Structure 1
Amino acid sequence: MAGTGDRGTAPEEYDATPYLPSRGGLPAHREAAAECRGCPLHRDATGTVFGRGAPDARLMLVGEQPGDQEDREGLPFVGPAGRLLHRALAEAGIDEEDLYVTNAVKHFKFVRDEARGRRIHKTPSVRETLACRPWLMAELRLVSPELVVVLGATAGRALLGSSFRVGTDRGVPRPLPDAADGTRVLATVHPSAVLRARDRQEMYAGLVADLRTAADAL
């Protein structure tokens, strides 16, 4: 492997594939993901945040990455955005017992705000998202949902490619590319975008409407 200039060190690897188990279901993959070193994000994060929920869920939700609270607890969607999502799911009539939730990127990427003693979310790069994609594809294969709801741009691009745009591609179920089992995908906004929005009520209503569309599509 070639070095990087005069330092003689190997270039950073960006690929989770070597860390995936050759067999086993979600528990085996969750255990293996805890040891993933497929990109540099593992260095600063508390740990890997793998997906959770029904192993045979008809509906899968895919977000961007864990936030500060998710990183500390090791579970997806348990912070402020997660609480808003749970409320929206309830209003849309979606039973969370038949749901699997995960993120496109399994480690928390952040910058430190030393003045306030906080860790501030930073959007994963395309390279980091692609490095983590093998875990997401394994989850899709193992759960085999009927419908995947992608929450926001990072999740959408992880599954639908770089041309994906939330504003133009949201709210309409469509075939998931390369899915052999007929899985469909529907895009909507990420709950964290709702929390940041000036027109929060309107944006929240749009999220609920998209989730109702997902419920009707099942």
Structure 2
Amino acid sequence: MARHPGAQAWVPESAGTARLREAARSCEGCDLYREATQTVFGDGPEDARLFLVGEQPGDVEDREGEPFVGPAGRLLDQALEDAGVDRSGVYVTNAVKHFKFERAEETGRRLHKKPTRGETVACHPWLQAELRAVRPDLVVALGATAAQSLMGTDFRVSTQRGRVYDLELGEAGRCEFMATVHPSAVIRLSGDERDEALARFTADLRKAADLVGAAH
């Protein structure tokens, strides 16, 4: 059985995002580090008012070491641009910092595998540390794993999407929180369904930007 001691022992106290990123490279808080190429930490300005958190890095992110630079990241960039948001002003990260995958038998291709609750909990100290360092005005969870990592397992994106909640950040105070779908959920669709899903996703990001005054 996989053992998850948790990341807390690797998280430096009262650290900024640069020091956190450096420390996270050596994290062995769960078994995902064994197969992943590298830790993929968050990226963005430390004074960002808008903070986006997804599930975990994908294959491209695992190879390049940066969050949301693969297909889902390109769709996120498109939606942010259409929503009038400059991504360079947004902090973007994931609930889990290592790529979890399984290999396709025929091709050997690395296929995304959803992290377990135990793996998400083990990695949560990193997300908490990022939130303490950035102190955003609004956190937007992209998908169920990210939302439940912050709001608990009873949270349902399907019914609570777009609603604004309070999120306690401990010693860092509080901020607002809302959830939407992960951009990969839009990518999996086609035709009119995809167009409608992208429009709704963009509308969610526009609402988020309006809440913090980040739209231009």
Q: Same fold (TM over 0.5)?
A: yes
Aligned to 2:202: 208
Q: C-alpha displacement at 1:26, in angstroms?
A: 1.1
Aligned to 2:138: 147
Kindly tell me: are residues 169 and 56 of structure 1, through their superposed partners in 2, closer, same or farther at Cα, counting changes over 3 Å?
A: same
Structure 1 unmatched ranges of 5 or more: 5-10
Structure 2 unmatched ranges of 5 or more: none
Structure having the higher Rg: 1
Given that 2:132 and 2:169 are in contact with CA atoms closer than 8 Å, whether structure 1 keeps it comes out as no
Are 2:44 and 1:53 equivalent residues in the alignment? yes
Counterpart residue identity of residue 215, structure 1? A
Distance 1:66 1:13 in 2: 19
Aligned to 1:127: 118
Aligned to 2:188: 196
Please report the TM-score for the alignment, with normalisation by the length of structure 1. Answer: 0.92
Are 2:178 and 1:186 equivalent residues in the alignment? yes
| 3-state SS in 2 of match to 1:167 | helix
Please report the TM-score for the alignment, with normalisation by the length of structure 2. Answer: 0.93
Distance 2:38 2:46 in 1: 22
Distance 2:22 2:75 in 1: 28
Counterpart residue identity of residue 75, structure 2? L
Q: C-alpha displacement at 1:67, in angstroms?
A: 0.1
Distance 1:171 1:105 in 2: 23
Given that 2:169 and 2:175 are in contact with CA atoms closer than 8 Å, whether structure 1 keeps it comes out as no
Q: Give per-residue Cα distances to partners, 1:17-36, cap 9 Å, x unaligned.
A: 01111343111111110000
Given that 1:14 and 1:127 are in contact with CA atoms closer than 8 Å, whether structure 2 keeps it comes out as no
Distance 1:201 1:64 in 2: 23
Q: C-alpha displacement at 1:178, in angstroms?
A: 4.8
Query: Across the two proteins, how many residue pairs are aligned to each other?
Result: 209
Q: Give per-residue Cα distances to partners, 1:27-80, cap 9 Å, x unaligned.
A: 111111000000000000001000001111000000000000000000000000
Are 2:5 and 1:14 equivalent residues in the alignment? yes
Are 2:91 and 1:97 equivalent residues in the alignment? no
Aligned to 2:26: 35
